[in-house]
Amino acid sequence: MPAAPAPRSQPSSQAVLAAVAAGGAIGAVARHGLAAVLPHGHFAWSTLAVNLTGCLLIGVLMVLITEVRPAHPLVRPFLGVGVLGGFTTFSTYIADIRQALDAGAGAAALAYLVLTVTGAVAAVWAGASLTRLAAAAVPRRAAEPAGEEGAA
């Protein structure tokens, strides 16, 4: 009888830190690139797009690595905390609201605030729900039979 696989050891804190840092750099560069393609006008569309996309993707990621298939212990820190954490931006969201208020655009600031918060929650829910539906639609492989006794 083959031995059971050894339990996966937890990564060192240095490995987790490196994964988060590398992912954060990638996410921040991606956010900067999107902001260059979608510059702010009177409404912070690029920040809204970044935050809603990041929330959708975190919903997908969390279902994939917690419910569908176990992942390497560094996947969550790299993708979830690093890439998506660096991609999304709460601080820019707040700064955008402040700028709108300072410019006398209180209605736009309120709309942006509400749209971001409700949209973020809806995006996480949609990402998680659609990923669960997609995972349920994919047939899982049945365990291979150990061998058929008496087969000639």
Binding residue numbers for Na(+): 85, 88
Report CA-CA distances (Å) from 139 to 134, 135, 136, 144: 10, 8, 7, 15
Distance CA 105, CA 58 (A): 31
Distance CA 105, CA 35 (A): 21
Distance of CA 97 to the CA centre of its chain: 24
Q: Token pair for residue 66? A: 């917690």
CA atoms within 13 A on the CB side of 53: 16
Binding-site residue numbers are 85, 88
Q: In sequence order, which residues have a C-beta less than 8 Å from that of residue 129 and are 6 or more positions away?
A: 59
Longest dimension (CA), the chain: 85
